[in-house]
């Protein structure tokens, strides 16, 4: 204790290093009246006791030692006169350029919008192509292997000579029927009877050389045809003829049997011109023929109208 002090003050009031313990003030606590430990300030005076201590605790920056000194201020906190001093400011405040972190370039050749989809698509197509080629190669290989196995199993060796196929006659009839060649004959080549004769003065006949049968308008005149048939059945006897624009008819006899109805040689083209050259036309009558030779006779009998020219006769399917 100092001289003249009877010990009524606390030691911390006279401690010259008491300002070092100002932790309570730094934490924002209220100092006790008249100061105290950790809160610098003059101690209350004691009545009748003089203050003789020369070491008085003062606040930081208040103690002076012969001349006034200003507290040190860092350069970044110094400001022009009249402006507040900021405890902290960003580097841009002092004119420094803002620091930016460079973005690393994208890898893989992308455009920066995501993964390289084009590259992925090309890769996928390549994979599919490889798989397809592999499958095709495997199929071809298997086909070749099976062919080799078949050759070995049959004892065959590769050869360029064509293989011979044995053919045996089939007893079953063919599904396709060959068309039968039915007879056709010019009337001028048939056996003529009575007044029937040949001539070629009228144009338009289709017989060889334009020859046809005339003189048929007399009873007893006839033409007889020996027709050979490949098979028996019902047929049509087609006749080409010419009339002078007037209906005619004749008797048809097949294998010695006369038809009940005469064969009609009518004016089917309804011609009004009596010129026989302009009245060539065809008619037909049903006939039953047998396989082989058949005798077909057209004759002018009593009651027939036989003013007609005969060109050719033909058997057609019935």
SS (H, E, C) 213-237: EECCCCCCCEEEEEEEECCCEEEEE
Q: State the pLDDT at residue 310.
A: 97
pLDDT at 177: 46
pLDDT exceeding 70 applies to what percent of the chain?
Answer: 51
pLDDT interval class at 166 (50, 70, 90) = very low
Please state the rounded mean pLDDT for residues 259-263: 90
Q: How much is the pLDDT for 273?
A: 96
Question: Which residue's structure tokens are 């012969």?
Answer: 66
Tokens of 66: 């012969």
SS3 200: coil
How would DSSP label each residue in 85-144?
--S---GGGGTPPPP-PPPPPPSSS--SSSS-HHHHHHHHHHHHHHHHHHHHHHHHHHHH
Query: 166 or 202, which is more confident?
Result: 202
pLDDT for 103 beyond 70: no
Nearest to 282 by CA among 223, 250, 239: 239
Among 158, 195, 309, CA closest to 246: 309
Least trusted range by pLDDT, from 10-14, 135-139, 229-233: 10-14
Helix (H) or strand (E) holding 148: helix 117-154
Give pLDDT, residue 165: 43
Q: What is the pLDDT of residues 27-44, one digit of tens each?
A: 565 555 555 555 455 555
pLDDT at 64: 55
pLDDT in tens, 125-163: 888 888 888 888 777 776 655 555 555 544 444 444 444
- Band (pLDDT 50/70/90 cuts) for residue 301 is very high
The chain-wide mean pLDDT, for the chain, equals 74
Compute the distance between CA of residue 253 and CA of residue 285 in angstroms, rounded to an integer: 11
CA distance 299 to 250: 6
- CA 187, CA 213: separation in Å to the nearest integer? 6
């Amino acid at each position: 204790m100092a001289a003249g002090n009877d010990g009524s003050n606390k030691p911390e009031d006279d401690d010259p290093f008491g300002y070092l313990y100002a932790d309570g003030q730094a934490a924002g606590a209220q100092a006790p009246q008249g100061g105290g430990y950790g809160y610098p300030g003059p101690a209350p005076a004691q009545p009748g006791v003089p203050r003789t201590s020369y070491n008085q605790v003062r606040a930081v920056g208040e103690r002076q030692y012969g001349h006034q000194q200003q507290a040190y201020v860092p350069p970044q906190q110094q400001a022009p006169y009249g402006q507040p001093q900021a405890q902290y400011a960003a580097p841009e405040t002092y004119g420094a350029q803002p620091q930016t972190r460079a973005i690393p370039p994208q890898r893989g050749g992308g455009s920066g919008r995501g993964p390289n989809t084009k590259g992925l698509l090309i890769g996928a197509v390549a994979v599919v192509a490889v798989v397809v080629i592999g499958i095709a190669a495997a199929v071809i290989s298997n086909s070749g292997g099976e062919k080799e196995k078949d050759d070995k199993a049959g004892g065959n060796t590769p050869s360029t000579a064509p293989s011979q196929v044995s053919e045996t006659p089939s007893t079953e009839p063919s599904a396709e029927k060959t068309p039968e060649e039915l007879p056709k004959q010019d009337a001028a080549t048939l056996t003529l009877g009575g007044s029937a004769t040949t001539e070629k003065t009228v144009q338009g006949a289709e017989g060889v050389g334009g020859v046809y049968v005339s003189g048929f308008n007399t009873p007893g005149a006839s033409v007889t045809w020996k027709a050979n048939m490949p098979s028996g059945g019902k047929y049509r006897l087609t006749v080409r003829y010419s009339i002078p624009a007037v209906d005619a008819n004749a008797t048809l006899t097949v294998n010695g049997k006369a038809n009940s109805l005469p064969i009609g040689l009518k004016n089917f083209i309804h011609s009004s011109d009596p010129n026989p050259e302009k009245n060539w036309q065809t008619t037909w009558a049903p006939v039953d023929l047998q396989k082989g030779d058949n005798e077909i006779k057209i004759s002018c009998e009593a009651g027939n109208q036989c003013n007609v020219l005969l060109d050719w006769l033909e058997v057609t399917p019935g």
